[in-house]
Structure 1
Amino acid sequence: MGMGMFFKLSLILAMYFMRTAFSFDNSWQYAHATFYGGVDASGTMGGACGYGNLYTYGYGTNTVALSTALFNDGASCGQCYVIICDYNNDQQWCLPGTSVTVTATNFCPPNWAIPSDAGGWCNPPRTHFDMAQPAFEQIAITTAGIVPVWYQRVSCNKRGNIRFTLNGFAYFNNFLVWNVGGPGSISYMMVKGDNTNWMAMSRNWGAIWMLNSVNICGQALSFNVWSSDWQYLSFPQVVYNNWVYGQTYEAYANFY
């Protein structure tokens, strides 16, 4: 590789290092990336984080499914990563001087029937990103199938504030928490109705939090939310008492 190309790659790494130095672990990590979902990313809709239609929820096509080593049983849903194809090691397929920032919206499950170095790319303990095809195409040529990459977790930039979508029924309440800025993911939540005390919630799956055995219908709802880097926000009566299942409510603030 020529010195000019080496300088470009070094500059990209340096820029992202400075941008994220005060937010998360600022070290770059090595991994591999593949792609899925088709040229329009239609095959990425739904997924193990519970976001459903990724266009509706503002995640678009710059999304990724994480291997077990990264997914953390759904606790990583919503987190953002910048990914750079390792041109030093794969000049044939990597696009030099490029990078892409993706959001974790799905899980890449292991395939124990295939060796980890011959198709079982998401088998533990491998660190792997299965990217939406439009995101992969920004850093590499799809003919490659799999490429070596460098990645770093970065702050998520969102328009607007945290949103809560309510689903379930009287004694089984699910809350999809989405459009989370900053760390992108939630580590702990509490909810309070007009007629209840504060109640701890638990992660049902992905970005969906649940409250069981309590009927909170007809009550205005307040939330206390802790991000995965333990920022804290409180949202008094952010959900009105006339809410119905299927509705989405926007909070008053977001994490940064």
Structure 2
Amino acid sequence: MASVSLPYLLALLCYLEFCFCFNPKHLNLSTIAKHWSSARATWYGSPNGSGSDGGSCGYGVLVSQPPFSSMITGIGPSLYQSGKECGACYQVKCTKHPSCSGKPVRVVITDFCPGCAEGPAHFDLSGTAFGAMALPGEDKKLRVAGVLEIGYSRVACDYSGKTIAFHVDQGSNPNYFAAVIEFEEGDGDLASVELKEASSEDWRAMQQSWGAVWKLDAGSQLKPPLSIKLISQYSGQTLVAKNVIPNGWKPDATYRSLVNYL
């Protein structure tokens, strides 16, 4: 059987339901050695809760549901970067308190910590995530310890096979489209987002509205189905959710794609 070239395979994938391309100029989180940095950690909300109900990234009640499962964090300005890091995943661990397990746990940035100062990284964890750093049965002791010194490391996100979803903003209409983009595996955060109407060959750049919400003020009536192109922040990988927003789409509805980053 004749061999098939890699460029041909990539082109074939793009022709089908999705497009996934790797830019070798960028590094992938899974290919670099893990580096631990120092940070401060506090917690907020209820002891076994998810912090706030949604937070400044726009994920809403999803933060308490799988796959987030309350393992989330607010973050100080140095890592939040005006919401550009919403969806990024980190491992955090504590070792200097007697109740620390020293084992890393993975958390997702879903909120901003307005009381966290500029400078060294500050994780304002949910009560659930903060307690997860403790030895078995000692989570209550850890929560009363005050500000902890922790280690943190950027890691790839893993949502156990979930595909990327788009929750359409309530203010969307035929001339204006905005959506929260959810469950990006790998990098977790996005550098840019573009939208294409079914009747057009042109991709139109969307703007980050706030948090994980991206918008397009079209200026005229959009013609669905709509495809959305995602470019990851860290690795530069490109993904296309083809015709993910259907005819008859509605505000406040969630539309799940068939794709995710590998």
Counterpart-to-counterpart distance in 2, 1:148 and 1:134:
18
Alignment-derived partner of residue 240 in structure 1: 246
Aligned equivalents of 1:129, 1:25: Cα separation in 2: 22
How big is the alpha-carbon RMSD for the aligned residues of Structure 1 and Structure 2? 2.0
Once the two structures are superposed, residues 57-81 of structure 1 have per-residue CA deviations (whole angstroms, 9 ceiling, x without a partner) of 7422100001000101111101111
**Per-residue CA distance 1:182-226 (angstroms, 9 max, x = gap):** 111111111011244321001001100000143445521011111
- Cα deviations across residues 3-45 of structure 1 (Å, max 9, x unaligned)? xxxxxxxxxxxxxxxxx97445632111110001112325421
Match of 2:178 among 155, 158, 174: 174
Contact 1:25 1:153 in 2 (8 A): no
Superposition misfits of 4+ residues, deviation over 6 angstroms? none
Provide the residue aligned with 2:129 in structure 1.
Answer: 135
Structure 1 188/24 Cα, relative in aligned 2: closer, same or farther at 3 Å? farther
Unaligned runs of 5+ in 2: 1-27, 135-141
> Deviations for 1:203-253, whole angstroms, at most 9, x for unmatched residues?
001100000143445521011111112111112212211211122111121
Residue 214 (structure 1) aligned to one of 209, 219, 226 = 219
Q: 2:29, 2:155 within 8 Å by CA — same for their partners in 1? A: no
Greater mean deviation of Cα atoms: 27-36 or 245-254: 245-254
Code of the aligned partner of 1:204: S
Classify 1:23/1:66 alpha carbon distance in 2 versus 1 (closer, same or farther; 3 Å). Answer: farther
Q: What residue is the counterpart of 2:164 in the other structure?
A: 162
> How much identity, in percent, do the aligned residues show?
29
Q: Is 1:204 equivalent to 2:215 in the alignment?
A: no
Q: Which amino acid aligns with 2:237?
A: Q
Q: Contact 2:29/2:186 (CA < 8 Å) preserved in 1?
A: no
Q: Tell me the TM-score normalised to structure 2 length.
A: 0.78
Residue 106 of structure 1 aligns with an amino acid whose one-letter code is D
- Aligned: 1:76 with 2:85: yes
User: Structure 1 unaligned runs (5+)?
Assistant: 1-19, 111-121
Residue 254 of structure 1 deviates from its aligned partner by: 0.7
Identify the residue that residue 197 of structure 2 maps to in structure 1: 193
- Equivalent pair of 2:50/2:127 in contact (CA under 8 Å): no
* Residues 76 and 121 in structure 2, CA contact (< 8 A), matched pair in contact too: yes
**Counterpart in the other structure of 1:32:** 40
Aligned CA distance change for structure 1 residues 241 and 179 (closer, same or farther; 3 Å): same
User: What is the DSSP-based 3-state SS (H/G/I as helix, E as strand, rest coil) of the residue aligned with 2:125?
Assistant: strand
Residues 104-115 of structure 1 mapped to structure 2, 5 A cutoff = 104-110=109-115
In structure 2, the CA distance between the partners of 1:198 and 1:21, relative to structure 1 (3 Å rule), is: closer
Report if aligned partners of 2:29, 2:187 keep a CA contact under 8 Å in 1. no
Q: TM-score, normalised by structure 1?
A: 0.80
Q: Give the paired residue count.
A: 222
Task: Give the stretch that moved more between structures: 209-218 or 226-235.
Answer: 209-218
Q: Say whether 1:254 aligns with 2:260.
A: yes
SS at match of 2:82: helix
Letter of the 1:91 counterpart: H
Q: Is the 8 A contact 1:163 1:177 kept in 2?
A: yes
| 1:138/1:43 CA distance change after superposition, 3 Å | closer
Structure 1 residue aligned with 2:138:
none
Match 2:228 to one of 203, 220, 223: 223
